[in-house]
Structure formats: structure tokens, C-alpha cells
């Protein structure tokens, strides 16, 4: 690439922890890919954030499973991992899939963990005591009601199975911020990169994979038109191929904010008894950016080469 662009990095809620490190890479002339990885690693290592990386709230079986992906705008190269256990920085493992295993784009579960081990990534216990306490608190009442220690064995077993299924069905995501963190970056060479890292829904069914590891759903990047990434109800984004839809709107000439709102308007027409908010963020190759959400108060963060700190911007309410 011969283009000289003004570097910029944008991110979803809670990305402020990592954006300064990503911008430091860009200011030094580093690549958008390095900037995205560094920024997301800072977010994954933030123990105060229970929705990404170490310290996440576990699935319904008490296990932490992580998803992440990275996509390169100039080649549309894509690398991802999903349902990864035991490795605290899934964004780095996703990048390794992109660069070291080019015949594939997505690894899941045990295969993703095997690959992480082969690449030399360090293992870690991802379930912190604080996350464990929150998880147990949420499950405590149900556990007391379904143990069935003093009932006849057969009816008790049946009652427990029904109650266990009810736990999986009734536990909604925490009312705080959604688990996914998006970071999109444009470097001086004009390269555009989009990265996503998430722990998914708290108390999710084991093995559940959301949109974050799926190209076109939670993450899409095409240097000709722009990049987009989603947070929130990933099942809706998968059904609408949400990130790809935003980039298609950019290709037709929409500004980033309008492109994001148009995708959410389409998603709103889909039936979903488990409907929850979906948010989206976009960055164009010329540095324009925008975001949309379904409710007031939703924000995203921006840094340019001149920024002292991340600037929080409101998302358009779709």
C-alpha cells in the first residue's frame, strides 16, 4: 500500500482500557493488525471486566469459554477461535489462526486449545474468585430448590433434570454491558483491521458460539468500503449477517452511522422471543466512523493520533 492515512482507532463500550495502547502502536507507524491485537489484549486482561477474557462469568456448567476473531481489510483474511478454554488472550490465538494456519479460518473447542498449545500460548485459570462468587450468587436459589436430597430417587431425578433445563432457559445475560469488545483500526499505510473478543452470554449453554467468531456476522472488514463489528444478541446478528450488512450499506454510499442504523432496523423485523439489544460500530477507509444501538445512553470510543485519551461518543439510537 502507498496510501498515507491518518491513523484512527475506535472501539465499543469498555474498549477504553485498550485503545491508548493500540493508538501508541499506530503513532509509532505500526500496523492496524498489531494495534487491534494489543488493544484487545488489554481489554481481555482487565480483571474488572467480567465480559471478556480472564474473569468472565462462566457458562451454565461453570466453565469459561471465549470467542475472538480478526479480519484484514485488504485481503479479507480471517482468523477466529470459539469455545476456547484455558487461554486468556483469544484475540492472539485468532491472529495465529490467520497467520500460521492459512488453510483454515476458524478453530473451536478442543481443537482451538490444541492449536493454542502448539503455538506456545500460556494457559491460565480464567474463572476468578470474583466471577465465581457472582455466578454462585445467581444460581444459589435454584440450587437450593432442585437438589432433591429427600425425595424418592426416580421422581427426584426427573425433577432435577427439568429444573436444570429451566436454569439454562431462564438465566438471562447480566443487566450490565454486553460481553463483546470491538476494536477497529486504520493505520498510516491505509490498512483497515477489525477485531472482536468476547466471553459470550453469561450462563450460556456449553458450546454456544455467537456471532463474534463468524465472518459477516459479528465481524467484517473490506478495505474498499469499511469495517463493522457487533455486540449484544449474537444470534440476531448471525441471522442478519449484521456486520456484512453494514459494510454493504457503506458500499452503497451510506455514512457509517446511517449504515449501522439501517442494519439494526432490518434486525428489528426478525421474530425472536429472546430478543435483547444489538449494537454495531463501523469505520470507513477514510476515517469516518459511527455507531448505533437500540437505546439511549449507548456509546463508543475514538482515538486519533492527536488524542490525549479516548473520546466517548454517543451511538445513534436506531
Q: Kindly report, residue by residue over 96-145, the tens digit of the pLDDT.
A: 999 999 999 999 999 999 999 999 999 987 655 665 555 555 555 444 33
Q: Does the pLDDT at position 269 exceed 80?
A: yes
pLDDT grade, residue 32 (50/70/90)?
A: very high
pLDDT of residue 224: 98
180 is catalytic: yes
Q: What is the pLDDT of residue 142?
A: 42
pLDDT digits (tens, 9 = 90+) for 157-200: 344 345 445 654 555 444 444 468 999 999 999 999 999 999 88
Q: Can you tell me the mean pLDDT for 72-89?
A: 96
Whether the per-residue pLDDT at 83 is higher than 60: the answer is: yes
Q: Which of 54, 180, 181, 258 is catalytic?
A: 180
The pLDDT mean for the chain works out to 85
**Among the ranges given (165-169, 203-207, 253-257), the one the predictor scored with the smallest mean pLDDT:** 165-169
- Give me the mean pLDDT over the 285-292 stretch: 97
pLDDT band at 295 (very low <50, low <70, confident <90, very high): confident
Q: What pLDDT, on the 0 to 100 scale, is given for residue 55?
A: 53
Greater confidence (56 vs 60) lies with: 60
Out of 4-13, 51-60, 131-140, pick the least confident. 131-140
Long-range contacts of 173-179 (CB under 8 A, 24+ apart): 173/201, 173/202, 173/203, 173/276, 174/50, 174/51, 174/57, 174/202, 176/50, 176/51, 177/13, 177/14, 177/51, 178/13, 178/51, 178/231, 178/232, 178/277, 178/279, 179/51, 179/52, 179/56, 179/231
What does the alpha-carbon distance between residue 197 and residue 182 come to, in Å, rounded to a whole number? 7
Q: What HEC string does the chain produce?
A: CCCCCCCEEEECCCHHHCHHHHHHHHHCCCCHHHHHHHHHHHHHCCCCCCCCCCCCCCCCCCCCCEEEEEEECCCCCEEEEEEECCCCCHHHHHHHHHHHCCCCCEEEHHHHHHHHHHCCCCCCCCCCHHHHHHHHHHHHHHHHHHCCCCCCHHHHHHHHHHHHHHHHHHCCCCCCCCCCEEEEEECCCCCEEEEEEECCCCCCCCCCCCHHHCECCCEEEECCCEEEEEEECHHHHHHHCHHHHHHHHHHCCCCHHHHHHHHHHHHCCCCCCCCCCEEEEEECCCCCEEEEECCCCCEEEEEECCCCCCEEEECEEC
Of 207, 208, 205, the C-alpha closest to 60 is 205
Query: Between 158 and 239, where is the model more confident?
Result: 239
Is 60 exceeded by the pLDDT of residue 226?
yes
Model pLDDT, residue 4: 67
Amino acid at each position: 500500500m502507498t496510501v498515507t492515512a491518518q491513523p484512527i482507532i475506535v472501539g465499543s463500550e469498555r474498549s477504553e482500557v485498550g485503545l491508548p495502547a493500540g493508538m501508541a502502536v499506530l503513532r509509532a507507524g505500526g500496523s492496524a493488525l498489531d494495534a487491534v491485537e494489543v488493544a484487545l489484549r488489554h481489554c481481555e486482561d482487565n480483571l474488572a471486566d467480567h465480559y471478556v477474557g480472564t474473569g468472565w462469568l462462566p457458562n451454565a456448567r461453570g466453565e469459561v469459554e471465549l470467542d475472538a476473531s480478526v479480519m484484514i481489510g485488504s485481503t479479507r483474511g480471517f482468523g477466529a477461535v470459539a469455545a476456547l478454554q484455558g487461554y486468556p488472550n483469544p484475540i492472539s490465538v485468532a491472529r495465529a489462526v490467520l497467520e500460521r494456519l492459512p488453510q483454515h479460518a476458524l478453530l473451536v473447542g478442543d481443537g482451538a486449545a490444541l492449536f493454542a498449545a502448539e503455538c506456545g500460548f500460556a494457559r491460565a485459570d480464567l474463572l476468578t474468585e470474583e466471577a465465581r462468587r457472582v455466578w454462585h450468587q445467581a444460581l444459589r436459589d435454584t440450587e437450593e430448590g432442585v437438589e432433591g436430597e429427600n425425595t424418592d430417587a426416580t421422581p427426584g431425578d426427573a425433577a432435577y433434570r427439568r429444573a436444570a433445563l429451566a436454569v439454562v432457559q431462564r438465566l438471562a445475560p447480566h443487566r450490565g454491558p454486553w460481553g463483546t469488545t470491538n476494536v477497529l483500526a486504520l493505520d498510516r499505510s491505509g490498512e483497515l483491521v477489525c477485531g472482536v473478543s468476547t466471553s459470550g452470554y453469561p450462563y450460556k449453554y456449553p458450546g454456544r458460539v455467537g456471532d463474534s467468531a463468524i465472518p459477516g456476522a459479528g465481524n467484517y472488514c473490506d478495505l474498499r468500503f469499511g469495517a463493522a463489528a457487533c455486540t449484544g444478541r449474537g444470534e440476531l446478528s448471525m441471522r442478519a449477517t449484521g456486520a456484512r450488512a453494514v459494510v454493504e450499506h457503506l458500499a452503497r454510499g451510506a455514512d457509517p452511522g446511517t449504515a449501522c442504523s439501517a442494519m439494526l432496523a432490518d434486525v428489528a423485523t426478525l421474530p425472536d422471543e429472546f430478543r435483547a439489544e444489538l449494537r454495531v460500530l463501523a469505520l470507513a477507509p477514510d476515517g469516518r466512523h459511527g455507531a448505533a444501538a437500540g437505546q439511549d445512553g449507548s456509546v463508543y470510543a475514538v482515538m486519533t493520533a492527536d488524542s490525549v485519551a479516548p473520546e466517548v461518543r454517543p451511538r445513534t439510537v436506531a
